[in-house]
Amino acid sequence: MSSPRIALCPGTYDPITLGHLDVIERAAGIFDQLVVGVVIGSTKKQHMFDAERRIALATEATAHLENVAIQGFNMLVIDFARAFGACALVKGLRAISDFDYEFQMAQINKRLAPEIETVYFPASAEYSFISSSGVKEIAVWGSQVDEWVPPNVANAFRERETAAEKE
């Protein structure tokens, strides 16, 4: 019996969008197990939702996928992938600019962990323009984001807005 093919789909998921969910669903159909790794700390940016909330939102959004697990992590991606025997990193690509960055990261990761492959999923056309940062920008200015995020995430934005109005 062969070992299960496990992949890691890492990201900040701040918040998880329908574009993320599309890639996660497609990868879950190919790999035996998919771990969605939610970055807990980041040297790059401030998060709108804390790690606990991002993990909870991603868990709820992927609850329909039996072979998907959500886990937070705060280490090098390849170290996290090795910790549970992942054979691949799954990355979504929306545009050439995404490819440029992700290709550089794949080369670094391959040097650090030659046994782990990087697999790219091109964005589906209807999600190719969606980014977490764009969604956050729209939501911060009070516009609805329901068509770009899972329902639980849209509700989380509404809860934030209501809480902010009460302050």
pLDDT digits (tens, 9 = 90+) for 2-40: 789 999 999 999 999 999 999 999 999 999 999 999 999
Separation CA 96–CA 85 (nearest Å): 30
Residue pair 23/79 in contact by the 8 Å Cβ criterion:
no
Query: Any catalytic annotation for residue 94?
Result: yes
Identify the band that residue 164 occupies on the pLDDT scale cut at 50, 70 and 90: low
Query: Any catalytic annotation for residue 132?
Result: yes
Where is pLDDT greater, at 44 or 22? 22
Residues ≥6 apart with Cβ < 8 Å to 77? 8, 10, 37, 89, 109
Q: Report residue 87 as tokens.
A: 């054979």
Identify the band that residue 43 occupies on the pLDDT scale cut at 50, 70 and 90: low
Query: Any catalytic annotation for residue 44?
Result: yes
Selecting among 44, 97, 111, 166, the annotated active-site residue is 44
pLDDT given at position 20: 97
What mean pLDDT do residues 66-75 have? 97
Following DSSP, what letter does each residue of 86-144 receive, concatenated?
--EEEEEE-SHHHHHHHHHHHHHHHHH-TT-EEEEEEPPGGGTT--HHHHHHHHHTT--
Rounded to 5 degrees, φ, ψ at 115 are: -80, -10
pLDDT given at position 95: 84
Selecting among 5, 94, 158, 160, the annotated active-site residue is 94
Query: Minimum mean pLDDT among 37-51, 75-89, 119-133: which range?
Result: 37-51
Backbone torsion region of residue 5, taken as left when φ is above 0, otherwise alpha when ψ lies between -120 and 50, otherwise beta: beta
Tokens 């764009």 label which residue?
134
pLDDT given at position 124: 92
pLDDT given at position 165: 65
Selecting among 20, 47, 54, 91, the annotated active-site residue is 20
Listed residue (116, 148, 144, 151) closest to 37, CA to CA: 116
Per residue in 110-160, pLDDT (tens digit) is 999 999 999 999 999 999 889 999 999 998 888 899 999 999 999 998 888
pLDDT given at position 140: 86
